[in-house]
Amino acid sequence: MSNIKKLKCLICGAEYQPEDIRYTCPKCGDEGVLEIIYDYVEIKKVFNKNFLESNTDHSMWRYLPILPIDEPDLIGPLQVGWTPLYEAKRIREDLDISNLWIKDDGRNPTASLKDRPSAVAIVKALELKEKIITCASTGNAASSLSGAAASVGLKSYIFVPQTAPVAKIAQLLVFGSTVFAVKGSYDEAFDLSIEATKKFGWYNRNTAFNPYMVEGKKTVGLEIIEQMNFEAPDYIFVSVGDGCIISGVVKAYKEMHILGLIDYLPKVIAVQAEGCRPIVDAINGDGEVKFVEPDTIADSISVGIPRNRLMAVRDVKELNGFGIAVSDEEIIKAIKYLGTVQGIFAEPAGSTAFAGMLQCLKEGKISKKDKMVILVTGNGLKDVESAKKAGGEALIIKPNLEAVKEKLN
Amino acid sequence: MSNIKKLKCLICGAEYQPEDIRYTCPKCGDEGVLEIIYDYVEIKKVFNKNFLESNTDHSMWRYLPILPIDEPDLIGPLQVGWTPLYEAKRIREDLDISNLWIKDDGRNPTASLKDRPSAVAIVKALELKEKIITCASTGNAASSLSGAAASVGLKSYIFVPQTAPVAKIAQLLVFGSTVFAVKGSYDEAFDLSIEATKKFGWYNRNTAFNPYMVEGKKTVGLEIIEQMNFEAPDYIFVSVGDGCIISGVVKAYKEMHILGLIDYLPKVIAVQAEGCRPIVDAINGDGEVKFVEPDTIADSISVGIPRNRLMAVRDVKELNGFGIAVSDEEIIKAIKYLGTVQGIFAEPAGSTAFAGMLQCLKEGKISKKDKMVILVTGNGLKDVESAKKAGGEALIIKPNLEAVKEKLN
């Protein structure tokens, strides 16, 4: 059995036991997102630096005592997590920043961070003896769930906006999912998937509906903490759509603090695109999230109704962070910069956090000496159209040396 | 300094010291591929099971004593290798095969096995104090070199056939390479890059021209050996283009055998597409490689003039392996099968080895009880067009439950 103590509603504070509840708080409806609270006293007995040092599991499951898994035997075969944290030496030199790290989470099985929560989702589905799993997604949650489901033999029904990048849809189909390409926004696909879940009784993995997804996402934070030798940075930059990844990162730090493994908490910065900045505006303003019509190239964070808004705004404020927005142009420029200077290939939402850091430097919100971590959430191969915008053009030549010389002059 | 004893020409047997030679044997011209021979007595003093067990470097560099590196400080930052070897439980069950492993080398930084040799190439370039590196490639060698070069600040000039998949070209451009998209075949791009190397004095990473590339590729074999606890399988299936990866795999086993770390050698099976099978025909025939006009969807192995042909044919024969060819249709079917049954997303050349294994089973060349390893060389995101052919179509629906119901019936 897991070390979960209770699930607590973010709105009314009602508490539930895991066996009594599946998704959101019945009193508050779909808005009543539940937060997982563990028995930290119990966890402390086994989970410490020694436990981690001697742990030979180089995947997200090395953190099993603080994950919501009852039956570890049901964990799927794909190797998720323990992605590289790069010191980004060339960017440090180029920008004269002394303390910069980049976590490349595009190195997961289906090439995005979302493999982490999806790996949790399939275990929960199997624990409940469910046979069909579903989700709505801008693309990455979908392809990660689809791959994870295939790896354990669960059937999957996936809802994506029809406009999702072709590479992400191609992944879903290769993994054998039934794919509903919805003529509408991600927000519409999300609502439809909840309706379908209620109608057909499938197991649902949607962000901020299924309470365990933040738990999967927090493993990226746990890894950063361990990879930085249990020292928190000053700032962590995270791109934000629904706001579930950023809450995962904050939860990692808060829990490691509770467990006495780190001494202080970092400031966590929410980065969104200018054309879709409801969370940024709420954090920097009165805390109220106003829904928007999204308009950005960064499809993974093109979310007008952020489902994890309450938790995300609370978390960033609690850690004294703030929000910042960047233009699509800066997002595209950041893709090229990360690729050219450091050899890291990010999708638009993946480069957004980096663009946000540059913006903060420019506005004097942070200093060049601060210790900073940038989270890259997905690989650039996920969205080749955007990569082409960033990369420019190849030189088309006839197969002879004269043609090469001509282009070099 | 590395433990290299000499470089030996495959054709005339002439021997060279590393400091005296850069590419092929001067006596035999570009055909005179050089093979790296180490001082195994020296290596044996440090390199054994204890060395590996206590090695905390989970990358290809854990095998440093048997790699051609003089200055380890020059190793680039990208984390290459130590990719998962999956037990493929669901495929085992589905096909009633008792002993099947799949090595997913699409989990490397730029999503292909080629990151391994490219990681070696940039160290050699830096050791020689070169500033510009070049290669010709069907796509993966190029994007891996491009990313690796960017990560250490080397300038790169890349030659690819204009027909290379857009995702691979997009990677090159994001990594800041100067990309020559040659109106012609890979074979023409290869010759042109050698000419340009001679003309402009760039450092060249071409397969079977640069003698160190097999060394990088062999690390995938070293990992398989260690991940299988120093027991060789009966068969390893490897897709073949130039024939450099398969020679790398064979060299890994031969060297681990020389070093006393494994007891016997596996049979290594060369798999090619029916529309491009010069190596397969040579192995199964008189050993002579006849050049062909390639015609296959598997772009990474669409090689009519295999540059490492002599070594590849020798290696497969020496280990009592054989060749097998599969149709493009079977390659596409294998993409879908690997995705749907095991959650592994392969590019066409990546699924080719699996299709070859199925073909061998069908023809009775192997038995269902044999211990088999399949090498998946690249991720499916590299070639979305082929993935779309494999995956089928999404169900396009209006955002309402009625539309979902209709499609489910």
**A65-122 pLDDT tens trace:** 999 999 999 999 999 999 999 999 999 999 999 999 999 999 999 999 999 999 999 9
The CA angle A306-A310-A312, to the nearest 5 degrees, is 75
| Interface predicted TM-score (ipTM) | 0.95
CB of A340 less than 8 A from some CB of B: yes
Q: Does pLDDT of B111 surpass 90? A: yes
CA B141 distance to own-chain centroid = 9
pLDDT of residue B409: 82
| Contact between A167 and B171 using a beta-carbon 8 Å cutoff | no
Q: Which residue of B has its CA nearest to A406?
A: B180
With b for 16 or more beta-carbon neighbours within 10 A and e for fewer, the A85-96 pattern comes to bbebebbbeebe
The pLDDT of residue A285 is above 90: yes
Adjacent-strand bridge partners of B272: B325
Q: Which candidate in A333, A381, A408 is best for mutational testing of the B interface (most B CBs within 10 A)? A: A381
Interface probe with A: pick from B332, B381, B396, B406, most Cβ of A within 10 Å: B381
Residue B325: the pLDDT is 98
Which among A150, A167, A392 has the least Cβ separation from residue B343? A150
| Cβ-contact A60, A219 below 8 angstroms | yes
Residues of A in contact with B173 (CB under 8 A): 387-388, 390-394
Cα–Cα distance measured from residue B150 to residue A340, given in angstroms and rounded to the nearest whole number? 5
pLDDT in the model for residue A34: 98
Q: Which of B110, B179, B396 sits opposite A395 (nearest CB)?
A: B179
Candidates A154, A153, A148, A145; CA nearest to A193 is: A145
Residue A66 and residue A310: Cα distance in Å, rounded?
23
Across the beta sheet with B235-239, the strand order is B85-86, B99-104, B371-376, B235-239, B267-273, B323-326
- Is A148 in the B-facing interface, judged by CB distances under 8 Å? yes
Chain-centre distance for alpha carbon B338? 19
Of B35, B32, B40, B42, nearest to B11 by C-alpha is B32
Q: Which ranges in B338-400 belong to alpha helices (H)?
A: 348-362, 384-391
Q: How far apart are alpha carbons A67 and A260 in whole angstroms?
A: 17
| Mutation for testing the B interface, residue in A79, A158, A174 having most B CBs under 10 Å | A174
Query: Among residues A38, A124, A140, which one has the least CA distance to residue A349?
Result: A140
Three-state secondary structure call for residue B162: coil
Of residues B111, B169, B176, nearest to A394 (C-beta): B169
Interchain CB distance below 8 Å, A407 and B180: yes
Q: What is the CA radius of gyration of chain A?
A: 21
For residue B217, the Cα-to-chain-centroid distance in whole angstroms is 6
SS3 B270: strand
Dihedral sign for Cα A181, A182, A183, A186, please. Answer: negative
pLDDT in tens, A294-335: 999 998 899 999 999 999 999 999 999 999 999 999 999 999
| Contact yes or no for B176 and A336 at CB 8 A | yes
Per-residue CA distances from A286 to A283, A319, B263 (Å): 7, 16, 69
Q: What tokens does B283 get?
A: 């192995």
Report how many Cβ contacts below 8 Å link chain A to chain B. 240
Yes or no, beta carbons of A343 and B76 under 8 Å apart: yes
Residues 213-242 of A with CB under 8 A from B: none
Which of A162, A173, A342 comes nearest B151 by C-beta?
Answer: A342
CB contact under 8 A, A171 and B89: no
Chain A hits for B335, CB-CB cut-off 8 Å, are 174
Per the prediction, chain B carries an average pLDDT of 96
3-state secondary structure chain A: CCCEEEEEECCCCCEECHHHCCCCCCCCHHHCCEEEEECHHHHHCCCCHHHHHCCCCCCHHHHHHHCCCCCHHHCCCCCCCCCCEECCHHHHHHHCCCEEEEEEHHHCCCCECCHHHHHHHHHHHHHCCCCEEEEECCCHHHHHHHHHHHHHCCEEEEEEECCCCHHHHHHHHHCCCEEEEECCCHHHHHHHHHHHHHHHCCEECCECCECCHHHHHHHHHHHHHHHCCCCCCCEEEEECCCCHHHHHHHHHHHHHHHCCCCCCCCEEEEEEECCECHHHHHHHCCCCCCCCCCCCCCHHHCCCCCCCHHHHHHHHHHCCCCEEEECHHHHHHHHHHHHHHHCCCECHHHHHHHHHHHHHHHCCCCCCCCEEEEEECEEHHHCHHHHHHHHCCCEEECCCHHHHHHHHC
Is A167 an interface residue toward B (CB < 8 Å)? yes
Model confidence over B153-166: pLDDT tens digits?
999 999 999 998 88
Q: Please, are residues A156 and A178 in contact by the beta-carbon 8 Å criterion?
A: yes
pLDDT band at residue A247, thresholds of 50, 70 and 90? very high
Q: Please name the member of B109, B150, B336 whose beta carbon is closest to the beta carbon of A341.
A: B150
In this prediction, residue A409 carries a pLDDT of 82
Of B244, B253, B263, the residue nearest B373 (C-alpha): B253
Record: contact A343-B77, CB cut-off 8 A: yes
Contact A176 B336 (CB under 8 A): yes
Closest CA to B172 of B188, B186, B158: B158
Q: Tell me whether residues B401 and A199 touch, CB distance under 8 A.
A: yes
**Looking at the DSSP assignment, which residues form a beta bridge with residue A7?**
A16, A36
Q: Which residue of B has its CA nearest to A108?
A: B107
Per DSSP, what are the bridge partners of residue A36? A7
- Measured distance CA(B227)–CA(B393) in Å, rounded: 37
User: Are residues A166 and B388, on separate chains, in Cβ contact within 8 Å?
Assistant: yes
Does residue B69 have a pLDDT over 90? yes
Q: Cα angle at B29 between B26 and B34, to 5 degrees?
A: 70
Say how far apart CA A229 and CA B2 lie, in whole Å: 32
Nearest to B342 among A150, A162, A391 (CB): A150
In this complex, is the C-beta atom of B112 within 8 Å of any C-beta atom belonging to chain A? no
Task: Give the pairing type, strands A15-16 and A4-9.
Answer: antiparallel
Q: Give B27 to chain A, closest Cα distance, Å.
A: 25
Cβ contact, residue pair A384, B166, below 8 Å? yes
Is B193 a residue whose pLDDT tops 90? yes
State whether residue B99 is helix, strand or coil.
strand
Residue of B170, B387, B395 lying closest to A178 (CB–CB): B395
CA gap A236, A254 in Å, rounded: 14
Report the distance separating Cα B86 and Cα A190, nearest Å.
33
* Range 172-191 of B in CB contact (< 8 A) with A: 172-176, 178-184, 188-189, 191
pLDDT at residue B139 tops 90: no
Residue-level pLDDT at A47 = 97
Look up the CATH number of domain B85-111+213-391: 3.40.50.1100
What are the chain B neighbours of A184 within 8 Å (beta carbons)? Answer: 398-399
* Interface subset of B 128-147, CB within 8 angstroms of A: 147
- Residue B22 is predicted with a pLDDT of 96
Mean pLDDT along residues A190-211: 95
Q: How confident is the model at residue A138 (pLDDT cuts 50, 70, 90)?
A: confident
pLDDT digits (tens, 9 = 90+) for B311-359: 999 999 999 999 999 999 999 999 999 999 999 999 999 899 999 999 9
The pLDDT value given to residue B45: 97
Q: Could you tell me which chain B residue has the CA closest to the CA of A79? A: B84
**Residue B373: helix, strand or coil by DSSP?**
strand
Query: Residue A374 in contact with residue A101, Cβ under 8 Å?
Result: yes
Q: How far, in Å, CA of A109 to CA of B70, rounded?
A: 33
Task: Provide φ and ψ at B16, rounded to 5°.
Answer: -135, 155
Instruction: Render pLDDT for B165-183 as a digit per residue (tens, 0 to 9).
Output: 889 899 999 999 999 999 9
Looking at residue A139, what is its pLDDT?
Answer: 87
Q: What is the DSSP letter of B74?
A: G
pLDDT digits (tens, 9 = 90+) for A142-199: 999 999 999 999 999 999 999 988 898 999 999 999 999 999 998 999 999 999 999 9
Closest Cα of chain B to A185: distance in Å? 9
Amino acid sitting at position B118: S
Q: Which residue has the tokens 């190596």?
A: B279
Percent of chain A with pLDDT over 90: 94
Secondary-structure class of domain A85-111+212-391 per CATH: alpha beta
Domain spans of chain A, in order of start: 85-111+212-391
Query: Which residues of B are less than 8 Å from A188 in CB distance?
Result: 399
Distance from CA of B317 to the nearest CA of A (A): 34
- Inter-chain touch B79–A379, beta carbons under 8 Å: no
Strands of the A4-9 sheet, one edge to the other: A15-16, A4-9, A34-38
CB proximity B54 to A under 8 Å: no
Q: Which amino acid is at B2?
A: S
Q: Does B169 touch chain A (CB under 8 A)?
A: yes
Contacts of B104 in chain A (CB under 8 A): 109
Which residues 6+ apart lie within 8 Å of A2 measured at CB?
A18, A38, A67, A68, A69, A70
Q: Quote the pLDDT of residue B138.
A: 85
Q: What is the pLDDT of residue B113?
A: 98
Q: Which amino acid is at A18?
A: P
pLDDT at B57 over 90: yes
Query: If you average pLDDT over residues A363-376, what whole number do you get?
Result: 98
Q: Which residues pair with B267 in a beta bridge?
A: B235
